[in-house]
Structure 1
Amino acid sequence: MLPLITRDELRAAMEAGSVVVVDTMPVAYYEKEHLPRARNIPGFPYEQAAEFTDRHAPSVLPDKSASIVVYCANTPCRNSDFVGRRLLELGYTDVRKYREGIEDWVAGGLPTESSS
C-alpha cells in the first residue's frame, strides 16, 4: 500500500516545486489532459505496467530520492498502484499516491494541461 497524499497537500507541494508528479494513464489520455508539469509512465494495460515503468523511469525520474506522486483517473483506477509499487521495487525512496486522481483534481476546479 502506497502512502497517500490529498489534493490540497499535492497542490501545495506542486506550488512549492517539491514534488514530481507522474500521470499513469495511457499516453493518449495523458496527451489529452494531465496535471500541470506531470510526467507520464503508462500503467495500463496492467500486465505491462512493470515493463513500462522499467523502460520510462530512468529518463522520466532520474533522481531516485525525489518526492514522487503517482495518480491515475480516480479511486478505482489501479494504474498508479502498479507504477508506484514498481518504482519502490526499483529503489525510489519517496513515492506517494494521489488516490482520487485527475477526476478529483478537475472537480476541485484546478488547472490541467494537454500535450496537443
Structure 2
Amino acid sequence: MAPMTPIATETLRAWQVQGHEFVLIDTLPAKSFAKGHLPGAINIVSDDILARAPALLPDKHIPIVVYCASTTCKRAGRSAERLERLGYTRVYHYAGGKRDWEAAGYPLTPISDETA
C-alpha cells in the first residue's frame, strides 16, 4: 500500500480557490467541528470512518483530504490509513490541521455561519 500523501496549507487553499474537486474531512469530534472547521469540510470522526465512508464517499478515486487539530493530533493519520484500507486511491493528509490553517491567516467556519 502506498503511503498517504501529505498536502501543504497553500496547496489545499489553492485547491479550494480553484474549485478543485475533492472531499475535505474534519476527523475531530462533532463539538470541535461545530466551533470551527475548514471551509467546505464534512465531519467524519476518525473512529467512525470505516463505517461511514462507504456510504458518504462512494467514489473511491475522488481526492480526499483529511485533517484534525494540529501536527500532534493522530486522528487524521489514522483516518487516512483506514480510508486507504477501504480502497480509496487518492488520500491526502493535511497534518497541520486547524492550527496551521489559522496560522496562515485563513478562517475557520463555525456551523452557525453555514446554517444562517
Contact 1:41–1:83, Cα closer than 8 Å, also in 2 = no
**TM norm structure 1:** 0.87
Letter matched to residue 33 of structure 2: Y
Per the TM alignment, residue 109 of structure 1 is displaced from its structure 2 partner at its CA by 1.0
- What corresponds to 1:64 in structure 2? 60
* Letter aligned with residue 22 of structure 1: I
Query: 1:107 Cα deviation (Å)?
Result: 1.1
> What residue is the counterpart of 2:17 in the other structure?
15
Unaligned runs of 5+ in 2: none
User: What stretches of structure 1 move > 3 A for 4+ residues in a row?
Assistant: none
Q: For 1:30 and 1:61, how far apart are their aligned partners in 2?
A: 19
Does the residue aligned with 2:111 lie in a helix, a strand or coil? coil
Match of 1:5 in 2: 7
Amino acid in structure 2 at the alignment position of 1:82? R
Q: Percent identity?
A: 41
Gaps of 5+ in 1: 44-48
Say if 1:39 and 1:60, in contact at 8 Å, map to a contact too.
Answer: no
Shift of 1:38: 0.2
Aligned position for 1:28: 31
Give how far 1:96 is off: 0.7
Q: Deviations over 1:67-104 (max 9, x none)?
A: 11100000010000111100001110000111111111
Root-mean-square deviation (CA, aligned residues, Å) is 1.2
Deviations 1:1-25 (A, max 9, x none): 4210100000011222222111110
